[in-house]
Amino acid sequence: MSGIHNPNKKEGKYRIAWLPGDGIGIEVLDAAQIVLDKLKFKADYIHGDIGWEYWCKEGDAFPARTIDLLKNVDAALFGAITSKPVKAAEAELTPELKGKGLTYRSPIVRMRQLFDLYICLRPLKAYPGNPLNFKENIDLVVFRENTEDLYSGVEFNPVPRELADTLLKLAKPFGAFKDVPLDKYAISCKINTKKGSERIIRAAFEFAKKFGRKKVTCIHKANVVRATDGLFLETFKEIAKEYPGITTDDANIDAICMWLLKNPFNYDVLVAPNLYGDIISDLCAQMVGGLGFGCSGNIGEKLAVFEPTHGSAPKYAGQYKVNPIATILAVKMLLDWLGEKEKGVALESAVATVIAAGKVRTYDIGGDAKTLELAEAIAAQL
Ligand code: IPM
Ligand code: MG
């Protein structure tokens, strides 16, 4: 596995924002602390309030003080946060905050947008000997656009009259909805920019070039979603010309879900707009052992936030039984990004050794080890 390196490697102590969130986020970050300490990584870990409890108590799951903290750190490690649909979220607000028009938006999505963390980098590697591998030797890297697309947050339910009138004037197919009452439908806007498409696609190619990857595949649905995905695919084709040494191809999101399962070795680096990137991340994670193995970097020019791809898994919260490997691999990505290459290599090889030995396994891998026992087993290899 490889990462994107921060050119400004620091000599002294790092400042790392520590954002456990809620649910199993807290438990997997405890596991991360064990390996970071064993690596003697020199850092101050500054706790940031974030998560469901702050939504319920303060009406904001990502309070301003945590946003300020992120302006002043070298990187962040994030656990997981519970997200609920709008109405369910409103119902859990403390009584004084109810009916104030507060709306819940996923803090991680806000963080990605607020700090322009436009690259979502997700390496998916089948570590030898993992009994959950779909096939041995799978080694894929997903580049997911992280700030735009259907995650734009521009949504309407109910639909304002003005918007409906404008759409009726400008878009012929909208006629099909013209008699639907405004409170009986909803609109979510998929917004993709040329700049946003260009920079994620370029990041994927630069990564391929730097790490000797052979192929970059663009994922889209340009045959149906013609405006936004058309723009993405067109941009991909333009940028591909700058990288003549790298093979390219493209596929529809539905087809790639089938092809990835059928012929995983035909793929290498995958680049996609936000939502398709989200979807294939889970598919590819399952091919290398499930979400317990999926790590993620949200990377911008000034800040990078590393996290496991899995969510807060409320049903397992408090039991310290989930697999911490996704988070430990996110730590490896953080070390790489900071330029701490040796520590990153050591950590990945410790993870690989423990997986191959197969003695300490959490429930998802068929064992009965607890979260922190697996972290200790990895730390013992360092
Ligand atoms: C992910 C997650 C998030 C997303 C959720 C938790 C908002 O699924 O990081 O893949 O949709 O991006
Ligand atoms: Mg996801």
pLDDT value of position 12: 81
Ligand 1: residue of 278, 283, 284, 310 to mutate (most ligand atoms within 8 A of CB) is: 278
Place of tokens 């529809």: 252
**What CA–CA distance (Å, rounded) separates 25 from 79?**
4
Q: How confident is the model at residue 86 (pLDDT cuts 50, 70, 90)?
A: confident
pLDDT value of position 11: 76
Tokens read off for 188? 């979510």
pLDDT value of position 10: 74
* 143 Cβ neighbours under 8 A, 6+ residues apart: 119, 120, 121, 122, 200, 201, 203, 204, 207, 269, 270, 271, 272, 277
Name residues contacting ligand 1 (CB within 6 A): 83, 106, 108-109, 278, 281, 309, 311
**Which ligand 1 atom is nearest residue 278's CA?**
10
pLDDT value of position 9: 67
Å from CA of 278 to ligand 1 middle: 7
Task: Give the number of the ligand closest to the Cα of residue 309.
Answer: 1
Q: How confident is the model at residue 8 (pLDDT cuts 50, 70, 90)?
A: low
**Which ligand 1 atom is nearest residue 282's CA?**
10
The 10s digit of each residue's pLDDT in 105-163 is: 889 999 999 999 999 999 999 999 999 999 999 999 999 999 999 999 999 999 999 99
Which residue's C-alpha comes closest to atom 1 of ligand 1?
A: 309
Per-residue three-class SS string for the chain: CCCCCCCCCCCCCEEEEEEEECCCHHHHHHHHHHHHHHCCCCEEEEECCCCHHHHHHHCCCCCHHHHHHHCCCCEEEEEECCCCCHHHHHHCCCHHHCCCCCCCCCHHHHHHHHCCCCEEEEEEECCCCCCCECCCCCEEEEEEECCCECCCCCEECCCCHHHHHHHHHHCHHHHHHCCCCHHHCCEECCECCHHHHHHHHHHHHHHHHHCCCCEEEEEECCCCCHHHHHHHHHHHHHHHCCCCCCEEEEEEHHHHHHHHHHCHHHCCEEEECHHHHHHHHHHHHHHECCHHHCEEEEECCCCEEEEECCCCCHHHCCCCCCCCHHHHHHHHHHHHHHCCHHHHHHHHHHHHHHHHHCCCCCHHHCCCCCHHHHHHHHHHCC
The 10s digit of each residue's pLDDT in 333-373 is: 999 999 999 999 999 999 999 999 999 999 999 999 999 99
Angle between the N-to-C axes of helices 341-357 and 371-380, in degrees from 0 to 180, rounded to the nearest 10: 120
Average pLDDT for the chain: 95
**What CA–CA distance (Å, rounded) separates 255 from 330?**
29
Ligand 1: residue of 50, 81, 83, 108 to mutate (most ligand atoms within 8 A of CB) is: 108
The 10s digit of each residue's pLDDT in 162-213 is: 999 999 999 999 999 999 999 999 999 999 999 999 999 999 999 999 999 9
Place of tokens 């400042």: 15
Å from CA of 219 to ligand 1 middle: 18
